[in-house]
Structure 1
Amino acid sequence: MHAMQYSVPLPADYDMEIIRRRVKTRGHLLDDFDGLGLKAYGIRERGTDGSPVNEYAPFYLWAEQEAMNRFLLGDGFRGVVRDFGRPAVRNWQGLYHRPGPAAARLPASFTRHAVPVPGGADLATVIEDALATHEKLATTDGVHTTALSLDPRRWELLHFTLWADAAPESAAGERFQVLHLSTPGVGRLGAGRQW
């Protein structure tokens, strides 16, 4: 499993209905993209859920790296580049994935929380602690899906959780509204540890 996200920052006065229409008319195009586990079409709106910015920031969990490459080099991402310029694309190695009790519902939001791994910390211990947190989170009412990934270049853990409703106040990280969810290969992401 590979996690991936790009962010398109938008002006403070940008009409976010443009993004909503874009997702409504194009979001279904990845509903059957082979090798994609899931894509959450996320946005942040300035002044909503504490967001200081307007942003379009879809989040992906890929079942196959080849599919991720095919997307980035194909028509789907080409449309993003044509309309918004070429954003930096971040990706992380998948460590853990599990559906939660609300996996049958369409999610309304997701949280993304990046946590640096301290330089002097034992990496295995830090990851085991994070896995234990996700195992508990995966049983929490309202959780659609939770995943943990590692960026070994920046040595940070990325915590990603889809929520059936608005993310609870206790959830750490940035909050995104989900406009659409594509899940063509969610069953291929596996459940639990990824090594």
Structure 2
Amino acid sequence: MHAMQYDITLPADYDMGIIRDRVATRGHLLDDFPGLGLKAYLIRERGPQSPVNQYAPFYLWASPAGMNSFLWGPGFQHIVDDFGRPEVQHWTGLAHEEGVASTTVPRTAVRRRQPIAPGTDLPSAVEDAVTRTARFARLDGVVCASVAVDPRRWELVHFSLWADDAPEAVGDRFEVLHLSAPERPALTGGRQW
């Protein structure tokens, strides 16, 4: 499993209806994309819950071939054509768990980045993150929960989808506009090694 996200920060007065329409008309195009575990079409709007307007799709790839096919194909090129080339963040998957609300359409996503401090015992930090993800998936309202690591920056990213407003989650909150999940069962549960 590989996690991937790009954040497209938009002007404060940007009409987020444009992004909503984009997802409503194009989101289904990845509903059967080979190698894609899931893509959550995420936005956050400037206001009390967010300092920015942002379009920030989050992906869990079941295969590197699927991810590469997307990045080097017409899918990502549409993003580049419309918004410029964003920085694509990428993490190696550590664990994925389906939640107690796994059959529910998610409304909210939460992303939390966690630096791994120098001197931290890496095997212990990773095992702790995997264990926490499994516990987190058992909370009411969780559709799924994942954790991945960027070994370049030594950063964990915790990602969860929720059936509701995610009252127990800490991190950046996003509204889920659409979920494409053609190979979600291939993400498998638990540790990814």
TM-score (norm 1): 0.97
How far apart are residue 171 of structure 1 and its match?
A: 1.2
Structure 2 counterpart of 1:25: 25
Query: Could you tell which deviates more after superposition, 55-64 or 133-142?
Result: 133-142
The CA distance in 1 between the partners of 2:94 and 2:127, in whole Å, is 10
How far apart are residue 129 of structure 1 and its match?
A: 1.4
Identify unmatched segments of 5+ residues in structure 1.
none
The SS at the match of 2:100 is coil
The CA distance in 1 between the partners of 2:33 and 2:130, in whole Å, is 29
Identify unmatched segments of 5+ residues in structure 2.
none
**Percent of residue pairs bearing the same amino acid type:** 59
How far apart are residue 172 of structure 1 and its match?
A: 1.2
Within a 5 Å distance, the mapping from 1:155-174 to structure 2 comes to 155-168=154-167, 170-174=168-172
Structure 1 counterpart of 2:94: 95
Structure 2 counterpart of 1:15: 15
Structure 2 counterpart of 1:105: 104
How many residue pairs get aligned? The number is: 193
The one-letter amino acid paired with 1:119 is: P
The one-letter amino acid paired with 2:113 is: A
Within a 5 Å distance, the mapping from 1:1-195 to structure 2 comes to 1-48=1-48, 50-168=49-167, 170-195=168-193
- Moved segments of 4+, more than 3 Å: none
The one-letter amino acid paired with 1:105 is: T
Cα displacement string for residues 54-90 of structure 1 (whole angstroms, at most 9, x for unaligned residues):
0000000000001101100111111111110010001
How far apart are residue 135 of structure 1 and its match?
A: 1.1
The one-letter amino acid paired with 2:23 is: V
How far apart are residue 133 of structure 1 and its match?
A: 1.1
State the Cα RMSD in Å: 0.7
The one-letter amino acid paired with 1:22 is: R
TM-score (norm 2): 0.98
The one-letter amino acid paired with 1:42 is: L
How far apart are residue 132 of structure 1 and its match?
A: 1.6
